[in-house]
Amino acid sequence: MKIGALKEIFEGENRVAMTPDSALQLVKLGHTCVIESGAGAKAGFSDAAYEKAGVTVLPTAQAVSEAADVLVKVRGPEASEVALLRQGQTLISFFWPAQNAELLEAISARGATVVAMDMVPRISRAQKMDALSSMANIAGYRAVIEAGNNFGRFFTGQVTAAGKVPPAKVLVVGAGVAGLAAIGTSTSLGAITYAFDVRPEVAEQIESMGAEFVYLDFADQVQDGAATGGYAAPSSPEFREAQLKKFRELAPDMDIVITTALIPGRPAPKLWTEDMVQMMKPGSVIVDLAAERGGNCDLTIPDERIVTENGVTIVGYTDFPSRMAAQASTLYSTNIRHMLTDLTPKKDGVIFHNMEDDVIRGATVTHEGAITYPPPPPKIQ
**What residues act catalytically?**
122, 127, 130, 133, 231
Stretch that binds ligand NAD, among 35-43, 84-92, 128-136, 182-190 (CB under 6 A): 128-136
Binding mask 261-280 for ligand NAD (x = CB under 6 A): xxxx----x-x---------
Using CA atoms, how far residue 280 sits from 80, 93, 253, 254, 357, in Å, is: 46, 40, 7, 7, 51
Q: Do the bridges between strand 370-371 and strand 364-367 make them parallel or antiparallel, or are there none, so unpaired?
A: antiparallel
Q: Do the bridges between strand 163-165 and strand 158-160 make them parallel or antiparallel, or are there none, so unpaired?
A: antiparallel
67 vs 233 by CB, closer to ligand NAD: 233
- What angle do the packed helices 177-188 and 131-150 form, to 10 degrees? 40
Q: Dump the DSSP string for 220-260.
A: TTTTSSB-GGG-B-PPPHHHHHHHHHHHHHHGGG-SEEEE-
124 vs 160 by CB, closer to ligand NAD: 124
Min dist. Cβ of residue 365 to ligand NAD (A): 19
Stretch that binds ligand NAD, among 197-205, 315-323, 326-334, 365-373 (CB under 6 A): 197-205
Half-sphere exposure of 381 (CA within 13 A, CB side): 3
Residue nearest to ligand NAD (CB): 176
Q: Which residues within the stretch 228-257 sit at the binding site for ligand NAD (CB under 6 A)?
A: 230-232, 235
Distance CA 178, CA 113 (A): 30
201 vs 274 by CB, closer to ligand NAD: 201
Min dist. Cβ of residue 367 to ligand NAD (A): 23
What residues form DSSP beta bridges with 172?
A: 195, 258
Distance CA 128, CA 117 (A): 11
Min dist. Cβ of residue 180 to ligand NAD (A): 8
Sheet strand arrangement including 70-72:
56-58, 32-36, 2-5, 70-72, 90-93, 113-116, 364-367, 370-371
Min dist. Cβ of residue 285 to ligand NAD (A): 19
Q: Which residues within the stretch 276-315 sit at the binding site for ligand NAD (CB under 6 A)?
A: none
Stretch that binds ligand NAD, among 100-108, 111-119, 125-133, 216-224 (CB under 6 A): 125-133
Min dist. Cβ of residue 123 to ligand NAD (A): 6
Min dist. Cβ of residue 337 to ligand NAD (A): 17
Please count the residues of the chain: 381
Binding mask 201-230 for ligand NAD (x = CB under 6 A): -----------------------------x
Min dist. Cβ of residue 133 to ligand NAD (A): 4
Q: Which residues within the stretch 325-364 sit at the binding site for ligand NAD (CB under 6 A)?
A: none
- Assess 107 for contact with ligand NAD (CB under 6 A): no
Stretch that binds ligand NAD, among 59-67, 86-94, 120-128, 344-352 (CB under 6 A): 120-128
Binding mask 144-183 for ligand NAD (x = CB under 6 A): -----------------------------xxxxxxx----
- Sorted by sequence, the CB contacts under 8 Å of residue 13 that are 6+ apart come out as 74, 75, 319, 322
What are the CB-based long-range contacts (under 8 Å, 24+) for 342-351? 342/129, 343/115, 344/1, 344/29, 344/30, 344/31, 347/28, 347/29, 347/30, 348/30, 349/1, 349/29, 349/30, 349/31, 349/32, 350/1, 350/30, 351/1, 351/69, 351/70, 351/90
Positions touching ligand NAD (CB under 6 A) are 122-124, 127, 130, 133, 136, 173-179, 196-199, 230-232, 235, 260-264, 269, 271
